[in-house]
Structure 1
Amino acid sequence: MFEVITWGGAALSLAGLLGLVWCILRVMKARRSGLSDDELRAVVQGVLPWNLAALFLSVIGLMVVIVGISFG
């Protein structure tokens, strides 16, 4: 049973990592497009909640992995 928890936590962590990569790519694309400072700031402010959610998901996934390993 704890093996399932461990692999589930790894999947959560991987999903969070993919979300972080998406955020990085989105901001890099906006920077390369030559937007003005205000437009770039708006893009970054729009990506920020997604970035924090992806980071939170990754941290929760790693905690679940640790719990699965500890109890398994």
Structure 2
Amino acid sequence: MTIWDGLIWGGTALTVLGLAALCWCIVTAARAKARTIDDEQMRQVMRRVVTVNMAALAASVFGLMFVILGIMLGK
């Protein structure tokens, strides 16, 4: 296994982690919408969801960049 293979597998793991976090965001937002909570509680939940969502998107993007770099440089 070369360093490029490690970059590909590390990027894949980071992307999967980001996708799992995005799924968590979807489930959490759907549960918050289904509950009858007041406006301030909804804002707190959505504030946390938006923060995790941005981090998850960044992780997915960086993971995919690592995969592409590993493929391009490994050949």
TM-score in same-fold range (> 0.5): yes
**% identical equivalent positions:** 42
Give the Å deviation of 1:45: 1.0
Instruction: Return structure 1 stretches of 4+ with deviation > 4 angstroms.
Output: none
Confirm or deny that 1:57 pairs with 2:59: yes
In the alignment, the residues of structure 2 paired with residue 4 and residue 39 of structure 1 have an alpha-carbon distance, to the nearest angstrom, of: 43
Give the Å deviation of 1:37: 2.8
Give the Å deviation of 1:38: 2.9
Give the Å deviation of 1:39: 2.1
Confirm or deny that 1:34 pairs with 2:63: no
TM-score (norm 2): 0.88
Give the Å deviation of 1:48: 1.1
Gaps of 5+ in 1: none
In the alignment, the residues of structure 1 paired with residue 44 and residue 16 of structure 2 have an alpha-carbon distance, to the nearest angstrom, of: 27
3-state DSSP of counterpart to 1:15: helix
Amino acid at match of 1:15: L
TM-score (norm 1): 0.91
Give the Å deviation of 1:46: 1.8
Amino acid at match of 2:17: A
In the alignment, the residues of structure 2 paired with residue 15 and residue 42 of structure 1 have an alpha-carbon distance, to the nearest angstrom, of: 24
Gaps of 5+ in 2: none
Q: RMSD of the TM alignment (CA)? A: 1.0
Give the Å deviation of 1:12: 0.4
